[in-house]
Amino acid sequence: MTVICIGYYDKFSRFFLDIKKQLKASHVSSLNFKIHSIHLSGFIYTLCRLQFSSWIPMRAWLLVQYKKQFYKDIIQNTESFKGIPYWEYIKFHTALSTEIPKDSLQLQALAYIDIFDKIFKKEQPNYLLTLGDSRLCVEIAVAIAAKYEVTTYYIEQGPFNTTFFDQEGVNANLSIRRNYSTKLIDKSQPNYEPLLNPNSTKYNRSPIYRGLDFLTAALLENSPLYPPDLKYTDVIHNPINKTEKLKNNPAGNHYSHILLALQVPRDVNMIYHSPNFKTHTEIVSNIYSNLPEGKQLVVREHPLYINKYDESLYKYIIENNILIDNFTPLDQALDSAEVIVVNNSTVGIEAILKYKTVVVLGNAFYDNERVCLKLHDKDQLKSLLQGAIHYKTKKAEIDTFKSILFNEVLLEGSISDKELRASKKIANHLITHQ
């Protein structure tokens, strides 16, 4: 069995290595298991354990230096290379920042096509395992896998200490979103009752690995020596905003309020899966200006981005005396809200499974109108919020959705658990479907 893996950080390399361990324990013959990491921490983690390791963006960057003129000629003369439309796969990174030159990303894309085409020809893998379904490197690897008819599985950290495992994608690309009605009819799969928020001990992750990521970015990011598809992709690029400090108000003290949960501002969910809004300032201003009469808006920032959103957001919040609550425990904040509004963050599914009224502004795997209120057009926002006040959640529908979700695309156990469980299930799946 040959497996090609693409991950990001050290914790993902650890997870992949455990899949390899489980495959070996099952006596898989002639196992060829290789991990390619997007960030330095993942590369170093695997390398330190004397396993095959590749820092794939740097490998592509070095290839660009060697074949730059050849690649430039391709860019000038054609929009595809080896059957792959390379220009389609730079969209995520151009949306991250206008400071990343498009030509640099196109050159990097061509190098990835060269590298993965060679890998898939030589290795003839049975599977491609990727963390997520976006980023230049991942999208091109998936395209090459499709070219050679290699089965791809997508992995992502899930809610409630779970792991997403799906053959179509993650986030809004999960298979459950497209074929929920089919799953609803299919009763052949055995069901189990998932345990939400189970207690699990996390492994003792060394800060050195991620420290290397931050240090490398700080030293090299503004230089031409840093791969273009690594630029502006980490939380380090959102420094503390210097706008006047906002007052935090415990949500439990508010009467009849609508809770708006913000999310990571520059990630795949905002770039690929947010057709109605492109910034959090736009989201907050539209929700506030369309609030039902007598209702109060409470904003909750993503824990990694407290005071790190655009200055325009905080200016709007201050000018309109909007309450912000970051420190009430999330469970309590959800319980105390009359309505929860999300763009497409995982807070949405957590609220839905609490039988709360949830308004979904963007595209998400849980935006099924059996279990939430979905915004299809910005012009509908006022009426949708008004309807949310009187909306009665359908508990039976939510229970069915929950059962299908946990039986079809979620595995018990988190990627960062001390004792990994999801990796064993993935290994078993690879063996039984070979």
pLDDT, tens digit, 9 for 90 and up, residues 45-75: 999 999 999 999 999 999 999 999 999 999 9
In the predicted structure, residue 188 carries a pLDDT above the cut 70? no
Higher pLDDT, 2 or 434: 2
In the predicted structure, residue 354 carries a pLDDT above the cut 60? yes
State the pLDDT at residue 239: 54
d(CA 413, CA 417): 7
Where are the chain's structural domains? 2-203+415-432, 251-407
d(CA 280, CA 264): 9
2-203+415-432 to CATH, choices 2.30.30, 3.90.1200, 3.30.70, 3.40.50: 3.40.50
Domain 251-407 carries which CATH code?
3.40.50.2000
Residue 181: half-sphere exposure toward Cβ, Cα within 13 Å: 2
Contacts of residues 369-373 at CB distance under 8 Å and 24 or more positions apart, as own/partner, are: 370/394, 370/397, 370/398, 370/400, 370/401, 371/397, 371/398, 371/401, 372/348
- Same topology between domain 2-203+415-432 and domain 251-407: yes
pLDDT, tens digit, 9 for 90 and up, residues 255-301: 579 999 999 988 899 999 999 999 999 999 999 999 999 999 999 99
Q: How confident is the model at residue 193 (pLDDT cuts 50, 70, 90)?
A: low
pTM: 0.91
Backbone dihedral angles phi then psi of residue 363, each to the nearest 5 degrees: -100, 130
Calculate mean pLDDT across residues 233-245: 55
Which residues on adjacent β-strands are paired with residue 241?
Answer: none
In the predicted structure, residue 249 carries a pLDDT above the cut 60? no
Q: Which residues fall within 8 angstroms of residue 148, CB to CB, at 6 or more apart? A: 120, 121, 124
> Residue 390 corresponds to which amino acid?
H
Q: Give the CA-trace dihedral at 361, 367, 372, 376, to 10 degrees.
A: 50
